[in-house]
Structure 1
Amino acid sequence: MGFVSTLIDLSQGILFVESPCCKERLQITLESNVYEDAIEDIELYGQRYEVYSYDNETNAWFSEAIGRTCSLLRYSSFNQDFMLKKIKGAATCRDMKNKLNFANEAQFLLVSEESVCDLNRRLSSDVQKGISGKAMVQVSASRFRPNLVVSGGRPYAEDGWRYIRIGNKHFSSLGGCNRCQIINLALNSGQVQKSNEPLATLASYRRVKGKILFGILLKHATVDGEQQQGADSWLHVGQDIHPD
């Protein structure tokens, strides 16, 4: 799944999907009303969902890309509720109703370029001091699989954000994202390379109550007078971030 790459063309309203396992690039229409005739009910982890299903060609493409039979389903709901709690100044979240648009923790994951740069500085320092005993590892923001990448602030400033606004869209922070060994997998030229970094370095200074936090989880929040799905429901590269 990590080798699947995507590109959204808002002018055409199309999501392009590519994989080294597939000869052709897949095109998926973004407008949900195109699939209104393909609505079905499913049960996933004990939760009922009303979803849009895609055609056999789309399902066959993803089955080939992933290497196992699968179906692409689309679900959209704004009725998510979470419990937010503080642990020694760092926030973590717990889903209260298990309605997360198929996400296992939250709708969005935000990572700061400054935080990534600070991590890379620590990785370089460890190599220079001979702590790691291995070749230097440098990571990009994409290693953490974020939806949103921001820049222009201090490293880890996002830890203290409770709410942010991007354009006319509002989001509430659900706390830090707990990291696992998946971030130690580097995907290069169709090959998977594994090491103990960057998780080992993160564990040395980003551990909170046994959790290794990097990046923050976000939930889309509607405000008074804002429609849940309006004509301009997209975020754009280069938009200003307004944290609170």
Structure 2
Amino acid sequence: MSLQVSQLAVYPLKSCKVIPLNSSRVTLSGLEFDRRYMLIDEKGLFLTARDYPALTLIEASISGTTLSLSHPEQSVGISINPDQFDDHYVNTEIWETPVSGQLTSSQFDTWFSELLNLPVKLVYFGDQSERFTSRRPDLPVAFADGYPFLLTTEASLKDLNNSGPQVNEMERFRPNIVITGNEPFAEDTWKRIRIGNVVFENVKPCERCIFTTLDPNTAERSRKGEPLKTLAKFRLIAKEGVTFGVNLVAENEGTIHVGDEVEILEFQQAYPYKDKR
């Protein structure tokens, strides 16, 4: 069976619900629209569903350049168009990496502040925003945690679900690209791949955090620490953490589609995980 793209997805606001796509334009800083908005507190620190699970219930849709957001606890939604933002930026950081965010509107700040019961501001990754990846400092990244693209595979998720007490949805891991047709965790060995006309490089395994314990449909946290507890039995990198999926950078821009074949251009040695299942 050939390797194929089975899912594409973006998360325009950091921590919001997924928007599934049939195709997407690939930019060096990520899929178009992915992680272009982020919330910050009064100190300029970024906020995510790790601490504010309600963010995972924000529904998002995109029409042209306009992002529409709604939440079950808010009576009205908001529509956000970056063409209407003033040219004002504030300093913030993501995991101690400085980045400037373009201010949006006090209207949106109020909407999110009421939702979280906390004074916050919504910022946008605008033309003057600049941030680069740590292991490939020549390549840009928007408001994603570390790298522009996250790839997972259906076979690896099935293997995880067969290994633990909980059936985990792929949405828990918030990938941009999902592949089908491979053996479980074969993605560890893919150094460079081609999807459509775009070449991606596998930079590192993706370390997983408490975010994965949130149910994407209810925002409730798993009482048993799943799936991290099961992943720790066979996907643990000493002194770093448990992993699921791989972080990618793109070598060029283009467009990719669900159904595209995946070509492995170069292989690598996978990390020697110890399987304690």
* Larger RCO (alpha carbons 8 Å, 6+ apart): 2
The amino acid of 1:55's aligned partner reads: S
The answer to whether the 8 A contact 1:38-1:54 is kept is no
Unaligned runs of 5+ in 1: 84-94, 124-135, 227-232
Partner residue in 2 for 1:53: 103
Is 2:163 the partner of 1:113? no
- Three-state SS of the structure 1 residue aligned to 2:233 is helix
Q: Map 1:40-119 to 2 at 5 A.
A: 40-44=89-93, 49-75=99-125, 80-83=132-135, 100-119=141-160
What is the TM-score of this pair, normalised by structure 2? 0.62
Question: Could you report, residue by residue, the CA deviation over 1:103-156 in whole angstroms, capped at 9, with x for unpaired residues?
Answer: 332222222111101111112xxxxxxxxxxxx411011111223322222211
Partner residue in 2 for 1:20: 72
What is the CA-CA distance between 1:206 and the residue it aligns to?
1.0
Partner residue in 1 for 2:263: 242
What is the CA-CA distance between 1:37 and the residue it aligns to?
4.0
The amino acid of 2:228's aligned partner reads: L
- Three-state SS of the structure 2 residue aligned to 1:73 is strand
Q: Map 1:141-156 to 2 at 5 A.
A: 141-156=170-185
The amino acid of 1:216's aligned partner reads: V
The amino acid of 1:62's aligned partner reads: F
Partner residue in 2 for 1:89: none
Using the alignment, how far apart are the partners of 2:57 and 2:245 within structure 1?
Answer: 22
Question: Could you report, residue by residue, the CA deviation over 1:181-240 in whole angstroms, capped at 9, with x for unpaired residues?
Answer: 332232544644432322121111111224211111122333xxx6xxxxxx66544444
Which structure has the larger Rg?
Answer: 1
The answer to whether the 8 A contact 1:106-1:219 is kept is yes
Indicate the percent of aligned positions where both proteins have the same amino acid: 28
Q: Map 1:85-234 to 2 at 5 A.
A: 100-123=141-164, 136-189=165-218, 191-210=220-239, 211-222=241-252
Partner residue in 2 for 1:38: 87
What is the TM-score of this pair, normalised by structure 1? 0.69
What is the CA-CA distance between 1:176 and the residue it aligns to?
0.5
- Three-state SS of the structure 2 residue aligned to 1:204 is coil
What is the CA-CA distance between 1:81 and the residue it aligns to?
4.5
The amino acid of 2:121's aligned partner reads: S
Structure 1 runs (4+) deviating above 6 angstroms are none
Partner residue in 1 for 2:24: none
Is 2:26 the partner of 1:5? no
Unaligned runs of 5+ in 2: 1-54, 266-277
- Three-state SS of the structure 2 residue aligned to 1:121 is helix
1:27/1:48 CA distance change after superposition, 3 Å:
same
When the two chains are superposed, the root-mean-square deviation of aligned CA atoms in Å is 3.1
Partner residue in 1 for 2:17: none
The amino acid of 2:71's aligned partner reads: S
Using the alignment, how far apart are the partners of 2:228 and 2:234 within structure 1?
Answer: 10
What is the CA-CA distance between 1:167 and the residue it aligns to?
3.3
Using the alignment, how far apart are the partners of 1:122 and 1:157 within structure 2?
Answer: 17
Using the alignment, how far apart are the partners of 1:58 and 1:239 within structure 2?
Answer: 37
- Three-state SS of the structure 2 residue aligned to 1:194 is coil
The answer to whether the 8 A contact 2:139-2:249 is kept is no
What is the CA-CA distance between 1:15 and the residue it aligns to?
2.6
Higher helix share: 1
Using the alignment, how far apart are the partners of 1:163 and 1:35 within structure 2?
Answer: 39
The answer to whether the 8 A contact 1:185-1:194 is kept is no
Using the alignment, how far apart are the partners of 1:79 and 1:243 within structure 2?
Answer: 29
Using the alignment, how far apart are the partners of 1:4 and 1:55 within structure 2?
Answer: 18
Number of residues paired by the alignment?
A: 207
The answer to whether the 8 A contact 1:35-1:52 is kept is no
